[in-house]
Structure 1
Amino acid sequence: MEFNTATYGGASLAVERNRVLRNTYFLLALSMLPTAAGALLGIALQFHMSAGFGLLLFFGVAFGSFYLIEKTKETAAGVFILLGFTGFMGLWLSQILQVALRFSNGPEMIGMAAIGTAAIFFSLAAVATVTKKDFSFMGKFLFIGMVIVILASIANIFFAIPAASLAISVVVLGIFSAYILYDVSRIVNGGETNYISATLQLYLDVYNVFVSLLNILMMLTGRRD
């Protein structure tokens, strides 16, 4: 009997990629628990940070967490650091949730943003998984767009122009929706082989899609009566 090593190697590679994708989805789902806990805690404590110090704190915790996750991504410690980071992100999220809850239709808008985020994620993840198309060509353009929108967002913290806030939220929604396609495609095609790193990337995509959707809904449909 002839043993085809090329076929066997291809099958093993496919199994490994499916394992990474499965573990990523599981850890992503798990990361929503500390996020929800952090958000509820922040709402209960009425957590709020000033623009200047809050921005420094956020970037300090975020980049410190990214560094530690990267250093420990091959160990169980990486999972716990990731979950700790998502708890912090939930606490940070509570600030915009508190703003939304001041509207009479706040709970409805939060629910709509969550449903919309889930719909975007599952639709784009399915496209990347089923087609197996390589979307790596999008990486450079998405990164440049992300840097520009971060700078615009920081500037608008101080200028607080409503039209600019809406435009930034729309652009963020588009960029991070495309990042979902890009990041799932990297897992499917073997560009990302560590499920902890993959989870961090997808978590940030989902988080930003949700926040931008909620911002758009508040600006367009928020009712204060």
Structure 2
Amino acid sequence: MSYANEFEMEQSSPFAIDAVREDRAAFLRRTYAHLAGAIAVFAGLLYIFVNTPAIHDPLLNMMVGGQWLIVLGLFIGVSWLAEWWATRSTSLTTQYAGLMLYTVAQAVIFVPLISYVVLLLEQPEILAQAGFLTLVVFGGLTAFVMFTGADFSFLRGFLFLASMLALGAIVIAVLFGGITLGFWFSVAMVGLSAGYILYDTSNVLHHYRTDQHVGAALALFASVALMFWYMIRVVIALQGDD
């Protein structure tokens, strides 16, 4: 999900792995603080979107049927632009604009799923359960990478291919309404998101410069959001509500 390892070596700041311990620790603190901030803003926006009919109803109407593919395409385009701003720009303002744009886009794309859980199923505890599971898995994978110092950049090709196959399955399922992507697809996507967390966390350590904390936070947030989405679907299925 990140292209940080393609950055040019002539940049002034060192990669985190090559920086002195104090600078590396400061970079990691900034990165994870920005990740926490993005998650907090995401949660706040979702609460507003789902509980404000003037926002919720048009968004939900826009994301039904075949229009979901349009929304998905826009989301992919916005995500690419946001990542470009956050990781490639030398302007800190543009980097923050990229992170904020991506956070808003994630909140919008989550509206149908959160609305289904909160308004239709009336089981908001599902979100707490999925959030807790996501936090536990994310924390465990992060600790593994940080303690071992492993570089999982070799996963890039596999993750890209798996993502394209998953995207193809989603498009086919939307175009042909009789096809349902059920429990095991969601489990597989949780596994894919775990792979992305390993990949992005190791990139934070090995392939981001110490002045790229905003872009690093965006990459991690993307992986966490992907896991949270499918963790919700797994919890719903296990409770027999899907």
TM category (shorter chain) comes to: 0.7 to 0.9
Cα RMSD for the two superposed structures? 2.3
| SS in structure 2 at match of 1:152 | helix
Q: Does 1:191 align with 2:210?
A: no
What is the identity, as a one-letter code, of the residue corresponding to 2:226?
Answer: N
Q: Please report how far the alpha carbon of residue 220 of structure 1 lies from its aligned counterpart in structure 2 after TM superposition.
A: 2.2
**Aligned pair 1:201/2:208, yes or no?**
no
Q: Distance in 2 between matches of 1:116 and 1:168?
A: 18
1:195 Cα offset (Å): 1.8
Q: Which residue of 2 aligns with 1:70?
A: 84
Task: Give the gaps of 5 or more residues in structure 1.
Answer: 1-9
SS in 2 for 1:164: coil
Give the drift of 1:211.
Answer: 0.6
| Identical positions, percent | 22
Q: Which residue of 1 aligns with 2:128?
A: 111
The runs of 5 or more residues in structure 2 that have no matched partner are 1-16
Q: Is the 8 A contact 1:38 1:89 kept in 2?
A: no
1:61 Cα shift? 4.2
Q: Structure 1 stretch 123-132 or stretch 93-102: which is displaced more?
A: 93-102
**Which residue number in structure 2 is paired with residue 129 of structure 1?**
146
Q: Is the 8 A contact 1:37 1:87 kept in 2?
A: no
Over residues 95-133 of structure 1, what are the superposed CA-to-partner deviations in whole Å (9 max), with x where a residue is unaligned?
A: 1011112225x2121110000010011110010001101
Is the 1:173–1:209 Cα contact (8 Å) retained in structure 2?
A: yes
Q: How many residues align?
A: 213
Q: Which structure exhibits the higher relative contact order, with contacts defined as CA atoms closer than 8 Å and separated by 6 or more residues? A: 2
Counterpart residue number, 1:50: 64
Measure, in 1, the Cα distance between the counterparts of 2:131 and 2:179. Answer: 23
Q: Which has the higher helix share?
A: 1
TM-score (normalizing by structure 2): 0.78
Instruction: Encode CA deviations 1:42-98: one digit per residue, 9 max, x unaligned.
Output: 212233122433332342244234325424543222113312321231132121011
Quote the Cα distance in structure 2 between the aligned partners of 1:94 and 1:64: 17
1:171 to 188, 191, 196: 188
Structure 1 counterpart of 2:14: none
**Given the superposition, is the C-alpha separation of residues 13 and 210 from structure 1 closer, same or farther in structure 2, using an over 3 Å criterion?**
same
Select the residue among 29, 44, 47 that pairs with 1:40.
Answer: 47
- What's 1:152 paired with? 169
Alignment of 1:84-123 (within 5 A): 84-101=101-118, 102-104=120-122, 106-123=123-140
Q: Bigger shift: 123-132 or 11-20? A: 11-20
Aligned residues of 1:124 and 1:180 also touching (Cα < 8 A): yes
CA contact (8 A) 1:38 1:87 kept: yes
Q: Conserved in 2, the CA contact under 8 Å of 1:17 and 1:187?
A: no
Asked whether the 8 Å contact 2:31–2:216 carries over to 1, the reply is yes
**Amino acid paired to 2:121:** F
Q: State the 1:152 CA deviation.
A: 0.8
| 2:98 corresponds to 1:81 | yes
Distance in 1 (alpha carbons) for counterparts of 2:138 and 2:37? 16
Q: In structure 1, give the amino acid aligned to 2:135.
A: A
